[in-house]
Amino acid sequence: MEYEIPTEGRIPLLDITIPIHWENHATLMFGVWFVLVPLAIMIVRFGKGKPRTYGIPRGTPKYRFPEITYAFHFYALYTAIFLAVGGAAFAMLLTGGFSGTLHAWFGAATIGLGVLQIVSGWFRGTHGGRKDKAADPEDRSTWGGDHFDMTPQRWWFEAWHKTNGYFVLVMAVGAVATGLSQFWMPLIALAFGLVIAVGLVAAVLLQGLGFKQDTYQAVYGTHPDHPFNKRRYQAMFDAQGEKP
């Protein structure tokens, strides 16, 4: 049964009927999931800067490089989820609820997994490291933190956050594709193709040129006594049958 897209919607609290401009909904959602979110991912993936021995200098403000890359990622994703939830809620309000179409299911999955990305961030644990405000730069025993020590909590947070992020984008592709099948917008379709093509080329070039850096070493540094560096070096030596 073909779904008939409503052209008018009722706002219950105000008891008024208004025309629905689906092009505004499409533009908002496309801007969120294929401009803002990919930009947040690309910047944090390729904009961390080369690692130093002790990582990001202590006291670096959030608006200075490289801290600004992490701050942008954080605030951009919060903004994206806020706009996406608002856009979806307003559409459901005007149309009387969940439509049950394929587009609606893809959209719900995208937003649901996106919200879980935000929620997972609340469980990423403490930072730690030499640059931590609570640490004494000269006393390594005060540098402890979930990220610096790479505790199981931090390990599983990263496993979820990075993997789920890719699933969110897959669901977003499905939402845009099914949305265009219901409400065709040539400019959105063209922009959709361009974003995917440009994103692919940019990611390959930036990866090939060496802009992708290890997150742990970019934040905390390459010093071999750092807990996670030590564990990785030990694993490498064990694999090669050598002693560190």
**pLDDT tens per residue across span 7-56:** 888 888 778 888 888 999 999 999 999 999 999 999 999 999 999 999 99
The predicted pLDDT at position 244 comes to 54
Characterise 84 by phi-psi region: left (phi > 0), alpha (psi -120 to 50), beta (else). alpha
Higher per-residue pLDDT: 190 or 95: 190
CA 168/CA 102 separation, integer angstroms: 16
DSSP 88-138: HHHHHHHHTS----HHHHHHHHHHHHHHHHHHHHTTS----STT-TTS-TT
Chain segment 165-222, per-residue pLDDT in tens: 999 999 999 999 999 999 999 999 999 999 999 999 999 999 999 999 999 999 999 9
The predicted pLDDT at position 235 comes to 77
The predicted pLDDT at position 236 comes to 75
pLDDT at position 4 over 80: no
Average pLDDT across the chain, whole number: 92
The count of other CB atoms within 10 Å of the CB of residue 128 is 22
pTM for the model: 0.90
Closest by Cα among 122, 118, 121, 138 to 130: 138
User: For the chain, what percent of residues have pLDDT higher than 70?
Assistant: 96
Chain segment 107-160, per-residue pLDDT in tens: 999 999 999 999 999 999 999 999 999 999 999 999 999 999 999 999 999 999
pLDDT at position 1 over 50: no
CA 144/CA 128 separation, integer angstroms: 5
pLDDT at position 3 over 70: no
CA 190/CA 188 separation, integer angstroms: 5
